[in-house]
Every structure is written in C-alpha cells, then in structure tokens.
Amino acid sequence: MDFTKAGVARKLQLEEFECLRMEAYKNARIYKEKTKAFHDHHIRRKDFQEGDELRSRWEGPFKVKEIKPYGVVELFDPQSDTTFKVNGHRVKKYYGYKSPREVEVLLLEDAPKGEKA
C-alpha cells in the first residue's frame, strides 16, 4: 500500500467535496435572492397620512396620529381616547360603515304558477 498515493487521492476527494459544498452555498444564495425578489414584487405598499381613518380586521375606525419608520403606525381610538402602535400591514383604510337600517334587502319571490323555471 502506497501512503503517498492514498494521501494525494484523499486530498483530491476533499477538494472535490469543498467545491461541491461551495456550489451548494452559491445555489442556495441565488434561490433565496430570487424568492425574495418574487415576494417583494407582490407586496402592496400602503401609504397612510395623518388623519386617515383605518380599521383592523375586527375593530375600527381609528385615526392615524403619527407615521413612524419601518411601517409602524400610531393610531388613536376616539371611543376610548387611547393611542397605540400597530404594524401598518395589519390595518386597512376605513371607507365607512352602513348600519343595518341602511342596508337594502331584496327578497326573492317564487316564480308565478304556470311558468317553468
């Protein structure tokens, strides 16, 4: 058994393994960049101004008191006179609310007898 030939072969194997590992890191970085670009392309920017009325999924309306950096919005609740901060992606613009009295109700009647549907 020749130890020098075995040592050279082992070094070549290690070098080949290192090249494969570096290529895998490079491919993972490229994949992450493309995925991030795709995700960022589909994000809708929300531009709020002070005084706008906003709502969350279940509550509202709230008034925008201040816009902070990194998407933070400080809201004022007129019902309880409190202010709080929320992520700007968690709220939507408030366009008004129709009370149940204002909602139009349409009743479907049966077709007159003798007519086929």
Kindly report, residue by residue over 59-116, the tens digit of the pLDDT.
878 999 999 888 899 999 988 889 999 998 888 888 876 555 566 666 777 666 666 6
**Residue 9 in tokens:** 């072969």
Stretch 4-23: mean pLDDT: 94
**Residue 98 in tokens:** 């129709």
Amino acid 74: pLDDT? 93
Amino acid 29: pLDDT? 97
Please report, rounded to a whole number, the percentage of residues in the chain having pLDDT higher than 70: 84
Angle, CA of 79, 46 and 99, to the nearest 5°: 40
For residue 112, report the phi and psi dihedrals to the nearest 5 degrees: -60, 150
Q: What is the DSSP string of 1-15?
A: --HHHHHHHHHHHHH
Amino acid 18: pLDDT? 96
Please choose, from the candidates 61, 51, 48, the residue with its C-alpha nearest in 3D space to the C-alpha of residue 87.
48
pTM over 0.85: no
CB-CB contact of 35 with 74 (8 Å): no
> Measured in whole angstroms, how far is the alpha carbon of residue 32 from the centre of its chain?
17
